[in-house]
A and B are shown apart, each in its own frame.
Chain A
Amino acid sequence: DAEITQSPRHKITETGRQVTLACHQTWNHNNMFWYRQDLGHGLRLIHYSYGVQDTNKGEVSDGYSVSRSNTEDLPLTLESAASSQTSVYFCASSEEGYEQYFGPGTRLTVT
């Protein structure tokens, strides 16, 4: 069955380190998204992509970057991790631009 996966599911890192979170989908969806979820803030959009080689900044993009070299993957990189980036990160994908399917999430702790 087609699916969307994220890895790792849990990550602890130190301040200042570079961290990359993986997102892989097998639906062949053109649209992919990264959100962070914090208590009281719901889901906030970090970056998104509408296709290979396309990337766009979302509401809270500072300190994050993405690249899209193929349809299936949209890795999220924290260039220099900060404690404020401790959060749960969700990747999502969609085709028609409407219903978004979410991955299982990655819990990131920056110490």
Chain B
Amino acid sequence: GENVEQHPSTLSVQEGDSAVIKCTYSDSASNYFPWYKQELGKRPQLIIDIRSNVGEKKDQRIAVTLNKTAKHFSLHITETQPEDSAVYFCAASSTGSARQLTFGSGTQLTVLP
């Protein structure tokens, strides 16, 4: 089955700096890669996703890049703000079981004012 590894597990940045979270996946058939943000005590919420037919997607201050050859994808947050502080999860979904997601272990992002 799919295995997703996520790094780093914790990340602290100064407000206004950029943050990068990286994930690798094992199943070359995976074709969908969402990122979820989870604030303390809340449910995970989708912030951005990318499909395997594109290499990069951007939505305001967040962007995701995908390298299918290397089987890794990354979340980039620019101009970080205190409200970006949360746990971020990457996930991957394979073609064979396209509706299932395998999640990474999460990154606790802290934006220091």
* Mask: chain A, 32-71; 1 = CB below 8 Å from B; 0 = not: 0101000011111100101000000011000000000000
Which residues B57-112 have CB closer than 8 A to chain A? 89, 93, 98-106
Chain B residues whose C-beta falls within 8 Å of the C-beta of A44 in the assembled complex: 103
* Interface of B, helix, strand, loop or mixed by DSSP: loop
Residues on A with C-beta less than 8 A from B103 are 35, 42-44
| A98-B34, A98-B49, A99-B34 known; A41 vs B101 contact (CB < 8 Å) | no
Docked-complex contact A105 and B43, CB < 8 angstroms = yes
Contact with B along A10-52 (1 / 0, CB 8 A): 0000000000000000000001010100001111110010100
- A48 adjacent to B43 (CB under 8 Å): no
Interface centre among B46, B93, B98, B100 (most CB of A within 10 A): B100
| A96 to B, closest residue via Cβ | B99
Q: How far is A21 from B107 in the complex, measured between Cα atoms in Å?
A: 28
Tell me the smallest distance from the CB of B44 to a CB of chain A, in Å.
Answer: 5
Chosen A-B contacts, 11 in total, with CB atoms closer than 8 Å, are A42-B6, A42-B89, A42-B103, A42-B104, A44-B103, A50-B99, A58-B100, A97-B99, A98-B93, A99-B49, A103-B43
